[in-house]
A and B are shown apart, each in its own frame.
Chain A
Amino acid sequence: MQASNTLISLLSAIAVLAGLGVGFGALLGFVSERFKVKGNPLVEKIDALLPQTQCGQCGYPGCRPYAEAINEGDAINKCPPGGESTIAALADLLGREPEPLDGESQAEERVAVIREDECIGCTKCIQACPVDAIIGAAKQMHTVIEDECTGCDLCIAPCPVDCIDMLPRSTPLTQWQPVVNASTADLIASDRAEEPPHVARV
């Protein structure tokens, strides 16, 4: 009698635990299917920090492939359009040491401009443009849509008549940035300039 009671309680315990195991297993399986994260979220985050000029100066065909390469362990200092600030942001995200930029940084934003009377209409630049910012047809003049151009330079090399220039981009007045004077608060009195720099004089 007692033996059968022990057996029953033993069996019931096993049954309950097995049932719980199956139940939670099913739940986990369902959740992992239902809330599956597609792709690697870290690649997305790296891609978001890159400037998306798609210029290929890093040696990869676009920003997304470079983001994937960084995730695989490639260096984070290969993006000249992003400059030091992008390197700092990437180092912060990935917990790596910031490295000096590999290549020359660009001082100002630039935009491609086609000298239209010299264009022969070969469409080579149209095929090279990574963001479809050049319009035109075969044997017709081409031109660059300024707002869409990322200033990547990729159209310069294919042009057989060298009629594309990279010019500084005109910034609208609404994007004007105030000229910041260094704060004098931390200077001792003898090092200060005579007059506070922010007072405008007529």
Chain B
Amino acid sequence: MSRAFDFPGGVYPPERKTRSTERPLSDTPLPDRVVLPLSQHSGRPAVPCVAVGEQVHTGTLIAQPDNMISSALHASISGKVVEINTAHIIIEKDTGNAGDKKDTETRLKPLDWRAAEPETLLERLDTSGVVGLGGAGFPTQVKARVRERHSLDTLVVNAAECEPYITADDVTLRHFAADVLEGAQLMAKLAGAEQILVGIEDNKPEAIAALEAAVPKSLPLPVVINVIETRYPSGGERQLIKKLLDREVPSGGLPADVGVLCHNPGTLSAVLHAVRDGAPLTSRIVTLTGNALARPGNYRVRLGTPMRELLQHAGLNAAKLTTLIHGGPMMGVALTDLDTPVGKTTNCLIAATADELPAAPTESPCIRCGACEDVCPASLLPQQLHWYARAGDDARLERYHLFDCIECGACSYVCPSHIPLVDDYREAKARLRLKRIEATKAEHAKHRFEFRQARLAREEAEKQARREARLAQAKRPSQAEENDGASNQADIRSLRIAQTAAKAAVRKAEKTLARAAQQDPQQDLSDLETQLATAQENLKAADAKLSAARKPSTS
């Protein structure tokens, strides 16, 4: 397929990629001390499963995934665990006599992915801590399971790598194209896809050549390489799918909704290593670049290595360094601490000088020029979002689809008033997310309160029923009850209506719970369960009241 479609918007920032591709891929020296954050992926943080003082090897499991969307964490050097807290685990290389010992590695049993059961492969991905290495860090194992709810036909290898400076995927493909394609075949088998599409920008000729050489050996699914024009942000998942397949991922949806699964080349090679070699994710390829470095290039780095060590290895000129950026210049974050450890999603570090990435000029008011709308790849209205974000108008932000913003930074890049638009959006998104969390919390508290009220009412009704039964027992020998039979009848009728209503409420709650459980078995059903329990308590209270009212009249 040579045909390419198009996505709206996009910009052409200076690429500055050649600086880091001139040097061949090499390993950085082993760090003496690694800091491994427990949350290097999206979802819940991992839970430590080692103790302070424990001896670990490279590849030893040190933290287990917590719940469904989470990922395991492994030691990236061999040594001793020296600190564990809620945020990270620190491992130090042995000192003294044992310090000269070579790095020892523990591996899992190699698997043949062509023969292995899908469940075994998924479990292997789970225990190897593989997450998306492109930036978001979504646990790969969870992504591989989307087949359970969507039918997929295409696996897209996202090798576009559109952001300036970053060349980690480019270099991965130059060196390990065959591994990447084999990893893609593995993931395609798990996902039940029928074809593999590689989307790559035309500014990576060496990687394209390596891929073309590897394609004939890649079996069993057909692999198509689709070379696309270099334009930022063609590496965005939605943009690439639109470009390659002309399918539009719905707002708030996933690529799986249109039958596509996207993976980054680095992730695919990590998947293959985890399965074929049994090697958990303990290192990754990081682009170290920027004018403050004497030896920019791509390096294989152990996770948890302090950035200062890496930059010094690459020849850091500390006097010239003004900004250190984690990620690319468009979407990355400026770091304030050089001792930050490298994580699973660190694909690039830019040690920039003042001339290279100058500080943003002072912001001016929006002049409504509309340049941001022309470049928005998600077809949003950036200036409207800007006004509403600054005004805190949350209802309008949602109506203008703030959450479809991919934070690519194209709007900030072209803004003639130098407004940090993406900062506004990120802040508004964080605020809206917090608001949603608070709303669900309030809802939860309300259900618990209602349940308690219902329980108290039921206990009260039961107590009343017992008291009346006792009274009736005591009275029976003396006289039959002749008092106000008519009003008693009316009471019973209204109680019976209440009982029927309570029964209907229980049935409705049961149905809602069953439907929700069927739609998504993984979601949190505790609120619906509380609602059902509340309805059941109400029914019991109604039963008790009814039987209490009936007893005196029948006796």
Are these two chains actual partners, yes or no? yes
> How far is A176 from B451 in the complex, measured between Cα atoms in Å?
32
Q: Which of B364, B431, B438 contacts A185 (CB 8 A)?
A: B364
Q: Evaluate whether A52 and B443 lie within 8 angstroms (CB atoms) in the complex, with A130-B449, A202-B336 already known.
A: yes
Q: Which of A63, A186, A200, A202 contacts B446 (CB 8 A)?
A: A63
Q: Which of A50, A180, A196 contacts B362 (CB 8 A)?
A: A196
Q: Can you name the residue of chain A whose Cβ is closest to the Cβ of B39? A: A173
Chain A hits for B423, CB < 8 A: 178, 198
A123 within 8 A of B: no
B338 within 8 A of A: yes
Chain B hits for A63, CB < 8 A: 446, 449
Could you tell me if B430 and A202 are in contact, using CB atoms closer than 8 angstroms?
Answer: no
B365 within 8 A of A: yes
Contact pattern, A 167-193, Cβ under 8 Å of B = 1, otherwise 0: 000000101111010011110000010
> How far is A66 from B38 in the complex, measured between Cα atoms in Å?
43
Could you tell me if A177 and B359 are in contact, using CB atoms closer than 8 angstroms?
Answer: no
Q: Evaluate whether A177 and B431 lie within 8 angstroms (CB atoms) in the complex, with A52-B445, A198-B423 already known.
A: yes
Closest chain A CB from B353 CB (angstroms): 11
Interface size on A, residues (CB 8 A): 33
B345 within 8 A of A: no
Q: Evaluate whether A202 and B445 lie within 8 angstroms (CB atoms) in the complex, with A177-B431, A178-B426 already known.
A: no
Chain B hits for A148, CB < 8 A: 444-445, 448
Contact pattern, B 333-352, Cβ under 8 Å of A = 1, otherwise 0: 01110100000000000000
Closest chain A CB from B359 CB (angstroms): 4
Contact pattern, B 355-368, Cβ under 8 Å of A = 1, otherwise 0: 00001111111100
B49 within 8 A of A: no
B442 within 8 A of A: yes
Could you tell me if A200 and B335 are in contact, using CB atoms closer than 8 angstroms?
Answer: yes
Q: Which of B56-64, B143-151, B319-327 contacts A (4 or more CB under 8 A)?
A: B319-327
Chain A hits for B231, CB < 8 A: none
Could you tell me if A202 and B359 are in contact, using CB atoms closer than 8 angstroms?
Answer: no
Q: Can you name the residue of chain A whose Cβ is closest to the Cβ of B43? A: A174
Q: Which of A50, A54, A175, A202 contacts B437 (CB 8 A)?
A: A175
Q: Which of B363, B427, B434 contacts A175 (CB 8 A)?
A: B434
Q: Which of A54, A186, A195, A202 contacts B321 (CB 8 A)?
A: A202
A139 within 8 A of B: no
Closest chain A CB from B343 CB (angstroms): 14
Could you tell me if A180 and B427 are in contact, using CB atoms closer than 8 angstroms?
Answer: yes
Q: Can you name the residue of chain A whose Cβ is closest to the Cβ of B438? A: A51
Closest chain B CB from A157 CB (angstroms): 18
Q: Which of A130, A185, A196, A200 contacts B323 (CB 8 A)?
A: A200
A116 within 8 A of B: no
Chain B hits for A1, CB < 8 A: none
A62 within 8 A of B: yes
Closest chain B CB from A112 CB (angstroms): 14
> How far is A175 from B438 in the complex, measured between Cα atoms in Å?
10
Q: Which of A150, A183, A195, A198 contacts B445 (CB 8 A)?
A: A150
Could you tell me if A183 and B363 are in contact, using CB atoms closer than 8 angstroms?
Answer: yes
Could you tell me if A185 and B445 are in contact, using CB atoms closer than 8 angstroms?
Answer: no
Chain B hits for A131, CB < 8 A: 445, 448-449, 452
Closest chain A CB from B87 CB (angstroms): 8
B420 within 8 A of A: yes
B417 within 8 A of A: yes
> How far is A160 from B63 in the complex, measured between Cα atoms in Å?
43
Could you tell me if A202 and B434 are in contact, using CB atoms closer than 8 angstroms?
Answer: no
In A146-174, the 8 Å CB interface with B consists of 148, 150, 173
Could you tell me if B39 and A183 are in contact, using CB atoms closer than 8 angstroms?
Answer: no
B535 within 8 A of A: no
Contact pattern, A 112-148, Cβ under 8 Å of B = 1, otherwise 0: 0000000000000000001111000000000000001
> How far is A130 from B359 in the complex, measured between Cα atoms in Å?
53
In B10-43, the 8 Å CB interface with A consists of 39
Could you tell me if B390 and A183 are in contact, using CB atoms closer than 8 angstroms?
Answer: yes
Chain A hits for B450, CB < 8 A: 64
Contact pattern, A 43-60, Cβ under 8 Å of B = 1, otherwise 0: 000010011111000000
Q: Evaluate whether A54 and B359 lie within 8 angstroms (CB atoms) in the complex, with A185-B364, A185-B419, A202-B323 already known.
A: no
> How far is A24 from B256 in the complex, measured between Cα atoms in Å?
49
A37 within 8 A of B: no
Q: Which A residues form the contact surface with B (CB < 8 A)?
A: 47, 50-54, 62-64, 130-133, 148, 150, 173, 175-178, 180, 183-186, 192, 195-196, 198-202
27 A-B pairs within 8 Å (CB atoms) are namely A51-B438, A52-B442, A52-B446, A54-B445, A54-B449, A62-B453, A63-B449, A64-B446, A64-B449, A131-B452, A132-B448, A173-B39, A173-B87, A175-B434, A175-B437, A177-B434, A183-B363, A184-B362, A185-B419, A192-B362, A196-B362, A196-B363, A199-B334, A200-B335, A200-B336, A201-B336, A202-B338
Q: A131-B445, A175-B434, A201-B322 are in contact. List 18 more A-B contacts (CB 8 A).
A: A52-B443, A52-B449, A63-B449, A64-B449, A131-B449, A148-B445, A173-B39, A177-B427, A178-B426, A184-B363, A195-B359, A196-B359, A198-B360, A198-B420, A200-B323, A201-B323, A202-B336, A202-B338
